[in-house]
Homo-oligomer: A and B are copies of this chain.
């Protein structure tokens, strides 16, 4: 038996500490040789002799076999990734922003340096979605991947709906309890699940889409009025990330959606995440689990480190067969837009207007709008936009309707 594989760890935040404690308990033929942190004087329950502030102590140490990157700063994380691969050190990361913004380059860097990167922890916390897309669904033609990709907003929506509280007070409570970041923008405006969706799309459909190309609508404008309207339709509201094949196009969004109460996604509450995968051969599959957390995500990082130490790598099978696929940048979306009187939204703004109603000072209008209009409206602070349930996308080219039903 050869000696233990040596690991260099960047970052000792929430996930880093979970990973550290699980690794030191596990009998996994792995050991941490160095931990690089920003501030070495912070109180931490780790062996102090492992700590350093110099990245070179990991990158230039020929004894270190594997790099684990669990820092916040996505720009610096990408620099670390490039340097690790240059040094032929396999890397495990959970940095969804860095991955989403550079995934195509990371795909090529892995080939160029013949050195793998694994990143299960970047998408849906504890749920093994990337590994299963890679290993289990690699040879199935997938129709759709959708789910609840962000735990903080799912917690917030659950509390808003079940305890009839407004967004601001639930957010404040979630921040107090540590379920939401002190700067919640990435979560509540749907950027975090968008990064995860972009990563997922590469493994599900083989296309690399910069997150800037994907519309994201958050949960921060949802009001009691919307929740009442959902209830009247037998629905709840969930922040849904979804990507779907429509002909030779891939459609992808992050947006709140009315979800029928009897669907599996409606029952995913609080900090839980879920993903449903629909494929030609596999049919419908559903995975659910904790979306974040020190130990759940730390365990996933540990699984990746064990896998990478055994020579595992992503084959990106779908990328080889995706030449004919493109990302849809036009089309019509079936939405409900709600606002206080005087916002100037009119039925004529819709390509196809379905109907609307008024309750007190609130108005809701339903219908099909162009992606461009949706994108403009999503920037307006005074509009609450929720995707309608059922068929909610059609291409303007073909007018072919595709069902986006939830399980």
Task: Give residues in A with beta carbon < 8 Å to B.
Answer: 18, 22, 26-28, 126-128, 131-132, 135-140, 262, 264, 267, 274, 279-290, 293, 295-296, 298-300, 302-303, 306-307, 311, 320-321
Q: Which residues of B contact A300 (CB under 8 A)?
A: 136
Who on chain B is nearest to A21 by CB? B281
Task: Report Cα–Cα, A27/B319, bound state, in Å.
Answer: 12
Across the interface, which residues of B come within 8 angstroms of A295, CB to CB?
280-283
Q: What are 26 inter-chain pairs, A to B, with CB distance below 8 A?
A: A28-B139, A128-B132, A128-B135, A128-B136, A131-B131, A131-B132, A131-B135, A131-B136, A135-B307, A136-B300, A137-B299, A138-B306, A140-B299, A264-B288, A274-B286, A280-B295, A282-B290, A282-B295, A283-B289, A283-B295, A285-B288, A285-B290, A286-B287, A286-B288, A287-B288, A311-B311
User: B27–A320 contact, CB under 8 A?
Assistant: yes
Do B285 and A126 touch (CB < 8 A)?
Answer: yes
Q: Least Cβ distance of A27 to chain B in Å?
A: 7
Q: Taking each of A18, A135, A281, A284, which has the highest tally of chain B beta carbons within 10 Å of its own beta carbon? A: A281
Q: Which one of B290, B293, B303 contacts A135 once the chains associate, using CB atoms below 8 Å?
A: B303
Picked from B27, B298, B321, the residue with its CB within 8 Å of the CB of A321 is B27
Task: List B contacts of A293 (CB < 8 A).
Answer: 283
Q: Which of chain B's residues have a CB closer than 8 A to the CB of A132?
A: 128, 131-132
Are B290 and A126 interface neighbours, CB within 8 A? no
The answer to whether B289 touches A286 (Cβ under 8 A) is yes
Question: A132 CA to B285 CA in the complex, in Å?
Answer: 14
Closest 8 CB pairs of A and B: A285-B289, A281-B295, A286-B288, A281-B299, A26-B139, A128-B136, A283-B290, A126-B282
* In the complex, chain B residues whose CB is within 8 Å of the CB of A279: 299
Bound state CA distance, A132 and B139, in angstroms?
Answer: 18
Contacts of A131 in B (CB 8 A): 131-132, 135-136
- A318 CB to closest chain B CB (Å) equals 11
Copies in the complex: 2
Q: Which residues of B contact A274 (CB under 8 A)?
A: 286
Minimal Cβ-Cβ distance residue in B for A293: B283
User: Chain B: which residue is nearest A266 at the CB level?
Assistant: B267
Contacts of A307 in B (CB 8 A): 135
- Besides the known contacts A283-B289, A283-B295, 5 further A-B residue pairs in the complex with CB atoms under 8 A apart: A22-B139, A127-B285, A282-B295, A284-B290, A287-B287
A281 CB to closest chain B CB (Å) equals 4
Taking each of A28, A267, A283, A298, which has the highest tally of chain B beta carbons within 10 Å of its own beta carbon? A283
Which residues in B have their C-beta under 8 angstroms from that of A139?
22, 26, 28, 299, 302-303, 306
Nearest-neighbor residue (CB-CB) of A290 within chain B: B283
Q: Per a CB cutoff under 8 Å, which of B126, B282, B285 touches A287?
A: B285
Query: Most chain-B Cβ atoms within 10 A of its Cβ — which of A28, A264, A293, A299?
Result: A299
A289 to B293, CA, bound (A): 26
CB distance from A287 to the nearest CB of B (A): 5
A289 and B299 contact, CB distance less than 8 A: no
Please give, as numbers and ranges, the residues of chain B lying within 8 Å of A138 by CB-CB distance: 303, 306
Distance, CA A290 to CA B131, complexed state (A):
19
Cα separation A285 to B306 with both chains bound (whole Å): 20
- CB-defined contacts of A290 to chain B, threshold 8 Å: 282-285
CB distance from A288 to the nearest CB of B (A): 4
Given A135-B131, A138-B306, the answer on whether A289 and B282 have CB atoms closer than 8 Å is yes
Residue of B nearest to A295 (CB): B281
Residues from chain B with a CB closer than 8 A to the CB of A296 are: 281-283
Q: State the Cβ distance, A114 to closest chain B Cβ, in Å.
A: 15
CB neighbours (8 Å) of A303 from chain B are 135-139
- Please measure, in the bound complex, the distance between the C-alpha atom of A349 and the C-alpha atom of B154, giving whole angstroms: 48
Residue of B nearest to A25 (CB): B139
In the bound assembly, the distance between CA atoms of A335 and B71 in angstroms comes to: 51
